[in-house]
Amino acid sequence: MEPKRIREGYLVKRGSVFNTWKPMWVVLLEDGIEFYKKKSDNSPKGMIPLKGSSLTSPCQDFGKRMFVFKITTTKQQDHFFQAAFLEERDAWVRDIKKAIKCIEGGQKFARKSTRRSIRLPETIDLGALYLSMKDTEKGIKELNLEKDKKIFNHCFTGNCVIDWLVSKQSVRNRQEGLMIASSLLNEGYLQPAGDLSKNAVDGTAENPFLDNPDAFYYFPDSGFFCEENSSDDDVILKEEFRGVIIKQGCLLKQGDDPLGAIHLRGCVVTSVESNPDGKKGEEENLFEIITADEVHYFLQAATPKERTEWIKAIQVASRTGK
């Protein structure tokens, strides 16, 4: 039986020979990490075994590159990956750590074993339930919640999820609601926000979902972002989409080549820290676009907030645009 795919997506990986950074389609399996040049490729360019490996995050080895994490194998080989933003990096790190822990304990990855242990009623369709929960009128209301001097935007509490399931008669009681909510979380329909809910997912509790007003969650495509003071001096990104024009405004572009277009389909975008020592300079708020043809563009926004908005908008265009 082939190892289960736990997580997959584009990350920027540092080459082991020429030390160049290139976008790779990365697949996290139960026993290792495969990386491909393109998502459509059948054979991986390489594989990183997780047994005995260690993970470092955040990795500060590259001052100008933000949201980098490092995997060190038993042969003392270092592999560096860069995510586009803080929440994406944390999600990868959380799952990789859990995979390593499961290997050490001789266990299956937690989400897989949890799904098998939960027997859902045949009438429950998690996909359809997810769409109902997201309904703008009758679904779960997304709020801006504050906790520990952080503001969590576009999220909701664990007990609100259970309240909604009970009120819509999707479940018979709160215990059954907890079982359904855990399944939604395990399948990726819900994501944890904040330390309390993340720790529950990382732990070995029977139910990774918490029926708790202090446990925050969000829909993965809702535009969730958290305003906080982080070690990366950044905030989670806010998604914007406005019809044909996703976002428009003024940016500074590096280079003397003539004006033109940057093809965004399949590109990878990441933040670039111009002054890792914290001193302000003329090149603040930089970000890098690496196209599908591996052409690198460096752009500069006016403010940190504007940079994060541009990155998120470009990510949308990368999946759907030209």
Residue range 43-59, pLDDT digits in tens: 898 999 999 999 998 88
Closest CA to 158 of 219, 210, 218: 210
Domain contains 110: no
Amino acid at the residue 269 = V
**How many domains are contained in the chain?**
3
Do 205 and 270 sit in the same domain of this protein? no
Domain contains 71: yes
Q: What is the pLDDT of residue 35?
A: 92
Do 205 and 281 sit in the same domain of this protein? no
Q: What is the pLDDT of residue 234?
A: 37
CATH number of 98's domain? 2.30.29.30
Do 98 and 133 sit in the same domain of this protein? no
Do 269 and 314 sit in the same domain of this protein? yes
Domain boundary among 71, 105, 139: 105
Residues 6+ apart with CB under 8 A from 300: 251, 252, 253, 254, 283, 284, 285, 286, 287
Q: What is the pLDDT of residue 125?
A: 82
Do 135 and 84 sit in the same domain of this protein? no
Average pLDDT of the segment spanning 218-234: 62
pLDDT tens track for 63-108: 778 889 999 999 999 999 998 878 788 889 988 998 998 888 887 7
Q: What is the pLDDT of residue 235?
A: 38
Residues in the chain: 322
pLDDT tens track for 281-297: 556 788 899 887 778 88
Q: Tokens representing 93?
A: 């790190």
Pick the more confident residue, 66 or 223: 66
Domain contains 154: yes
Q: Is the whole-model pTM more than 0.75?
A: no
Closest CA to 9 of 30, 47, 36, 45: 36
Domain contains 89: yes
Amino acid at the residue 45 = K
Average pLDDT of the segment spanning 11-24: 84
Residues 6+ apart with CB under 8 A from 8: 25, 26, 27, 28
Do 130 and 101 sit in the same domain of this protein? no
Domain boundary among 73, 105, 137: 105
Strand partners, 253: 299
Q: What is the pLDDT of residue 236?
A: 37
Task: Grade residue 280 by pLDDT with cuts at 50, 70 and 90.
Answer: low
3-state SS of the chain?
A: CCCCEEEEEEEEEECCCCCCEEEEEEEEECCEEEEECCCCCCCCCEEEECCCCEEECCCCCCCCECCEEEEECCCCCEEEEECCCHHHHHHHHHHHHHHHHHHHHCCCCHHHHHHHHCCCCCCCCHHHHHHHHCCCCCCCCCEEEEECCEEEEEEEEHHHHHHHHHHCCCCCCHHHHHHHHHHHHHCCCCEEECHHHHHHHHCCCCCCCCCCCCCEEECCCCCCEEECCCCCCCCCCCCCCCCCCCCCCCCEECCCCCCCCCCCCCCEEEEECCCCCCCCCCCCCEEEEECCCCCEEEEECCCHHHHHHHHHHHHHHHHHCC
Do 11 and 59 sit in the same domain of this protein? yes
Q: What is the pLDDT of residue 204?
A: 54
Q: What is the pLDDT of residue 316?
A: 80
Domain contains 296: yes
Flag whether pLDDT at 242 surpasses 50.
Answer: no
Domain boundary among 41, 73, 105: 105
Do 101 and 195 sit in the same domain of this protein? no
Domain contains 114: no
Flag whether pLDDT at 230 surpasses 50.
Answer: no
Distances (CA, A) of 11 to 52, 88, 92: 23, 10, 10
Using omega within 30 degrees of 0 as the cis cutoff, is the peptide bond preceding 58 cis? yes
Domain contains 233: no
Do 28 and 64 sit in the same domain of this protein? yes
Q: What is the pLDDT of residue 116?
A: 40
Flag whether pLDDT at 240 surpasses 50.
Answer: no
Judge whether 192 and 217 are in contact, CB under 8 Å.
yes
Do 204 and 264 sit in the same domain of this protein? no
Q: In what side-by-side order are the strands of the sheet with 286-290?
A: 252-253, 296-300, 286-290, 268-272
Flag whether pLDDT at 313 surpasses 80.
Answer: yes
Flag whether pLDDT at 161 surpasses 60.
Answer: yes
Average pLDDT of the segment spanning 20-32: 89
Do 77 and 170 sit in the same domain of this protein? no
32-46, 205-219, 240-254: which has the minimum mean pLDDT? 240-254
Domain contains 234: no
**Domain extent for 74:** 5-105
The pLDDT > 90 percentage for the chain reads 25
CATH number of 170's domain? 1.10.10.10
pLDDT tens track for 107-143: 776 554 333 444 555 667 888 899 999 998 999 999 9
Flag whether pLDDT at 229 surpasses 50.
Answer: no
Flag whether pLDDT at 23 surpasses 80.
Answer: yes
